[in-house]
Amino acid sequence: MSNKNSSTTFKEILDFHEQTLGKSDAEKRNIAKSQNIDFDEYQRRILGKEKEMEFFIIMRATRSFKDIKPIDEELAQISGEKTPDYEVEFTDGYKMMVEVKHTDKEEYKISGGNLQKRIDYANAHNLPLRFAISIKGFWGLLTSDFIKNKNGKILVSDFGGKERNSWFDRELATCSYMFSKPLKIVSIYAKETTEGLGILFEPYGELISYELYCSDRLILKIEGNDISKIWYLFTFEAIQDRLANISQEITENGNLTTIVEDNNRYPLLLLPEYLFILAPIRHIQYSEKNSKDNIFITATEEDNAILSVEYIRAAMSDLCDLGVYITCFRDGYGYEFNDYRSKFWTKNRDEINKDYSKSLKP
């Protein structure tokens, strides 16, 4: 049973979180009890901070920002000011403040007074204010004026529509990828092997073969210690997660387990680019670390190049060249992949692949 303490401050929550980062839930519960911290309250309140870190990772990965400065939360707690979470500067020199919010409900709500105090803080620093809002995992970036006009009540439908109220695609220079033909991933694991790819999935063992199909045509195959292609596995985690939620068949045969995931019944697949950033993070197993803390651990590490959009775009370019039809959606407009690539991406595919080849060298 949790040790209730209604007077726990958010600073104490953050200090406890930093102290126990990566520890198991059981270890955290014991430490929380010894410090008179309600563990259930900690889990509830730290979620907002996790979403801040998630958006920070997304911002960093898009390569659209020159500088990202977290605003001192401790100072805000002392002063009582309603401060946004970040002050950011884009690569073109444009600056703004960003408040990050999240809800698992159908609608995000903020009171008029709370909203106005954050607007006043940004105005005092002569900067515009945007709200990065996650509603059930879907991200949008809205102006404070729009939220004010909506009386502080926001739905996912407000992110799109003809007005394209969300600035997410424009400000972060990102898009969503639509796959209109059925995809299938076949993964084979072995409990005992000397030819694995170094990726473990308990209780099935080590990955020894990975195949990606489009319309039942083999597009990509990775096996036999082919380390040079492993980065595809991480990049395509978002696709595999979505396919697994649609259809997954597991067949065990002695030492081997074959897992087939596909969307044959529902072939249309639309995935925001930020999911390709976040999905591999949630699957990483840091040595002896609690995977529930992966977002925090990744955010505190140095920038990881393989989580950048450049790697995602290199992988999408390869899929397109191998015959997978991809449509890119940005601000509500759809573009054929090659048209989108030439119109919006600053680096061409040869430059991206050259950078990747350099990163493989020891």
Q: Which of 216, 183, 123, 194 is nearest to 326 (CA)?
A: 183
User: Within its chain, how far is the Cα of 291 from the centroid?
Assistant: 15
- Fold annotation for 47-173: Trna Endonuclease; Chain: A, domain 1 (3.40.1350)
Nearest by Cα to 149 from 158, 140, 141: 158
Whether residue 73 has pLDDT greater than 90: no
Mean pLDDT value across the chain: 87
> Tokens at residue 148, please?
């004010």
pLDDT digits (tens, 9 = 90+) for 229-283: 888 998 999 999 999 999 999 999 999 999 999 999 999 999 999 999 999 888 7
Confidence of residue 362 (pLDDT cuts 50, 70, 90): very low
Q: Phi and psi of 277, rounded to 5°? A: -80, -45
Q: How confident is the model at residue 71 (pLDDT cuts 50, 70, 90)?
A: confident
161 conformational bin, left if phi > 0, alpha if psi -120 to 50, beta if neither: left
Instruction: Write down the H helix ranges in the chain.
Output: 10-20, 25-34, 39-62, 73-79, 112-124, 144-149, 168-172, 230-235, 237-246, 273-283, 294-300, 309-321, 337-344, 349-360
User: What whole-number distance in Å separates Cα of residue 166 and Cα of residue 84?
Assistant: 18
Can you tell me the mean pLDDT for 130-141? 95
CA distance 311 to 123: 37
Ranges for all domains in the chain classified under CATH 3.40.1350.10: 47-173
pLDDT higher than threshold 90 for residue 75? no
Write down the pLDDT at residue 296. Answer: 87
Helix, strand, coil distribution of the chain in percent, nearest 5: 45, 25, 30
Half-sphere exposure of 126 (CA within 13 A, CB side): 1
Reported as a single tens digit per residue, the pLDDT across 32-64 is: 999 999 999 998 888 889 999 999 999 999 999
**For residues 146-164, average pLDDT:** 87
At 315-359, the pLDDT tens digits run: 999 999 999 999 999 988 999 999 999 988 865 445 544 544 454
